[in-house]
Amino acid sequence: MRSQGSKAGTVAELVQARWGDDRPGLWFEHEVLSHHQVAAGAAARAALLSDLLPRSAEPHVGVLLDNTPEYPLWLSAAALAGAAVAGINPTRRGPELARDILHTDCRVLITERVHLALLDGLDLPGVRILVTETDAYGELLAPYAGAKPGEVRLRGVEPGPDARMLLYFTSGSTGAPKAAICTQGRLTAAGLSLADHFALRPQDVHYVCMPMFHGNAVIADWAPALAAGGGVALRRRFSASGFLADVRRYGATYFTYVGRAVQYILATPPSPDDRDNPLRLGFGTEAGAVDAARFEERFGVRLVEGYGSSEGGAAIQRMPGTPPGAIGRAAPGNDLAVVDPETREECPPAEFDERGRLLNGALAIGELVNRGRTAFEGYWRNAAADAERLRAGWYWTGDLFYRDADGFLYFAGRTDDRLRVDSENLAAAMIENILARYEDATAVAVFAVPDPVAGDQVMAALSLREGAAFDPAGFAAFLEAQDDLGTKMAPRFVRVVRQMPVTATNKVHRVGLRRAAFCCPDPVWWRPPGQCAYRRLTSGDVEGLLAEYAAQGRDDVLGR
């Protein structure tokens, strides 16, 4: 069943289609708003924004909020007005936070009391700050309560598909985050495509627990709900312990995930009634085949791994016959190839053993590029970053993949998560998939530690199930039993963490892990050169290692 407005070309049209719809459309804690109330609230905020923004200013509004009703209200308001929302990351601090707001030319910033302290002392010239859930905010909105969708537009121009809708920051391992542009047309197309692909219906409830300043929550969860006419249930911040209770409370049928969220949910204590829930589908990235199978077995919910670069430059679509572990084939309009970034030659197809394990990873893994037309719309005022993405007429995703003989694509990690051990290229994600079989581990991250002489060594961070203690002999025996663990893949160092450090978008904080390396407060186990057994790393070992780096003139590579 297609929803009213499903042929729309803009987000504004999708919002207008909900006017007069009195079905419940937005849930948050103990609050429920109808679709009509959401559309009316968006119209009021659009009218307010039109009066607040100087005519000469860029039509951008910054949103520094948790997942509260104000977030989708301002997304909808921006769409109606022909403005763009810049999602501001609340984990940024000081000058970096100010830089994000000013870089995206936000003259209005929407925030809440819980985040006001982040703005103390920041120099934000020309930026008007509105604080939700205050008397002043309510008084400011009151005169616009009768506004209707489409009545007020910035500069009197109806927003078209090319109107900027989102400026969302992409996380990188180096340099300041880049603000990727997403237009109303691209966001609408993404919402309609996902709604159609997953047969999403008006009666579906989309659980939004990933942060809305990130593209995943807006593009893959909120937009398809709007396109299908479904409802949205918000969680202020992701909570593994609150996940199942929320799903039951709101009757959620669909959710999205990124990074390690699935692992955290699996780490919660199991219950005999875990499968008693209304969910029918989870869509996201980087859950891993092992955890996806565990999730389906425990909760009875299928997880579909997808891939679409945040910037819109490449997309992979799952289809019938997709092998286990694969994401799918190139989506229509994409000419995707896996290439060696140095030679720009296409990598050979992957070879597997009888159990489906990759045999020729060093040759088959390369960077995914789109050699055809791309939906990439650029970064806001960052020509250098645009040029880095578009090289030699191709869109370079920055992600590692391998392809089988039938053209199915498998994710192998990020290009900056590649390790070079004894002149052999390894992908961190491939090693993680193997270590995820270790039964005591609830989360695994693999990253490079510079070798004292040249190249890298493999380091792993493990979060263990409650009550488990790291058994060095047992872990070594586990590694020995993994016949697809290459001779260069076994971790030299193992850091045992109470909880895996993650970014605000629930992706592993690899930059922090790499920066700390083996000089960290957590217990670290290691295999000294020439030894197979793991033993506890001591302060004397650390001093010896640092001396070795210094002797080789590589003490700067640790980033200390």
Q: Strands 84-87, 108-111: parallel, antiparallel or unpaired by DSSP?
A: unpaired
DSSP 495: E
Tell me the pLDDT band of 319, cut-offs 50, 70 and 90: confident
Cβ-contact 166, 220 below 8 angstroms = no
Helices (H), 67-168: 70-81, 94-103, 113-119, 135-141
Which residues pair with residue 232 across a beta bridge?
26, 206
Question: pTM for this structure?
Answer: 0.81
Which is nearest to 88 in space by CA: 110, 59, 117, 55?
A: 110
Report the relative pairing of strands 164-170 and 84-87 from DSSP bridges. Answer: parallel
Residue 457 phi, psi dihedral angles, 5° rounding:
-120, 155
Where is 26: in which H helix or E strand?
Answer: strand 24-28
* Residue 372, pLDDT above cutoff 60: yes
Element (H, E) at 284: strand 281-284
- Inform me whether the pLDDT recorded for 174 exceeds 50: no
Distance CA 80, CA 42 (A): 8
| Cα–Cα distance measured from residue 477 to residue 491, given in angstroms and rounded to the nearest whole number | 13
Distance of CA 233 to the CA centre of its chain: 19
Distance between alpha carbon 297 and the CA centroid of its chain, in Å? 24
What pLDDT score does 170 carry?
Answer: 82
| HSE-CB for 56 with a 13 A CA cutoff | 1
Contact indicator for 403, 410 with CB cutoff of 8 Å: yes
Cβ neighbourhood burial of 74 (10 Å; 0-12, 13-18, 19+): buried
Coil vs helix vs strand at 417: helix
More confident residue, 203 or 532: 203
Answer whether residue 1 shows pLDDT above 50.
no
The answer to whether residues 451 and 459 touch, using CB atoms and an 8 Å cutoff, is no
Residues contacting 323, CB < 8 A, separation 6+: 356, 404, 408
pLDDT above 90 as % of the chain = 70
Alpha-carbon torsion, ordered 461, 465, 468, 470, to 10 deg: -10
**Cα 97 from Cα 102, distance rounded (Å):** 9
Q: What's the rounded Cα separation, in Å, for the pair 294 and 242?
A: 19
Euclidean distance between CA atoms 157 and 394, whole angstroms: 34
Mean pLDDT in residue range 249-265: 90
Residue 71: the pLDDT is 98
Please provide the CATH number assigned to the domain covering 307-417. Answer: 2.30.38.10
**What burial letters (b/e) apply to 446-483, b meaning 16+ CB within 10 Å?**
bbbbbbbeeebbbbbbbbbeeeeebeeeebbebbeeee
Q: What is the pLDDT, as a whole number, of residue 7?
A: 66
- Residue with more model confidence, 387 or 487: 387
Provide the percentage of residues in the chain whose pLDDT is more than 70.
Answer: 96
- For the record, the structure tokens of 192 come out as 């309609």
- The closest of 406, 382, 417, 415 to 513, measured between CA atoms, is 417
Local structure of 463: helix, strand or coil: strand
What is the identity of the amino acid at 546? L
Strand partners, 400: 367, 413
How crowded is the C-beta side of 126, counted as CA atoms within 13 Å? 14
| Chain Cα centroid distance, residue 467 | 30
Average pLDDT, integer, range 33-48: 98
Cα 109 from Cα 62, distance rounded (Å): 4
Q: Do the domains at 11-211 and 307-417 have one common CATH topology?
A: no
Eight-state DSSP code of residue 155: G
Place of tokens 């039509």: 59
* 368 three-class SS: strand
- The domains of the chain are located at 11-211, 307-417, 434-551
Task: Give, in order, the Cα–Cα distances in Å from 382 to each of 136, 179, 181, 326, 386.
Answer: 36, 8, 11, 34, 6
**CA angle, 522 as apex, 519 and 528 as ends, to 5°?**
60
The pLDDT-based confidence of 324 (bands split at 50, 70, 90) is: confident
How does residue 555 score in pLDDT terms, banded at 50, 70 and 90?
low
> What is the token pair recorded at 4?
């009213």
**Residue 376 pLDDT > 90, yes or no?**
yes
Contact 302, 282 (CB under 8 A): yes
Phi and psi at residue 133, to the nearest 5°: 60, 35
Q: Reply yes or no on whether the pLDDT at 173 is more than 50.
A: no
User: Are residues 19 and 39 in contact, defined by beta-carbon separation less than 8 angstroms?
Assistant: yes
Contacts of 371 (CB under 8 A, 6+ apart): 335, 336, 337, 393, 394
Q: Above 50 in pLDDT, residue 2?
A: no
Alpha carbons 81 and 470: distance in angstroms, whole number: 56
> What pLDDT, in 10s, does the model give residues 270-311?
999 999 999 999 999 878 777 888 999 999 999 998 888 779
Class of the domain covering 11-211: alpha beta
The one-letter amino acid code at 445 reads: A
CB 492 within 8 A of CB 452: no
**Span 117-146, average pLDDT:** 97
- The whole-chain average pLDDT of the chain stands at 91
Q: Which residues contact 242 (CB under 8 A, 6 or more apart)?
A: 235
Measured between alpha carbons, how far is 24 from 361 in angstroms, rounded to an integer?
Answer: 50
CA-atom Rg of the chain in angstroms: 24
What pLDDT score was predicted for residue 558?
66
Strand extents, DSSP E, 376-523: 390-391, 394-403, 409-414, 418-421, 424-427, 441-450, 456-464, 493-497
Q: Specify the CATH number of the domain 434-551.
A: 3.30.300.30
SS3 315: strand
Q: In 10 A of CB 235, how many CB atoms?
A: 22
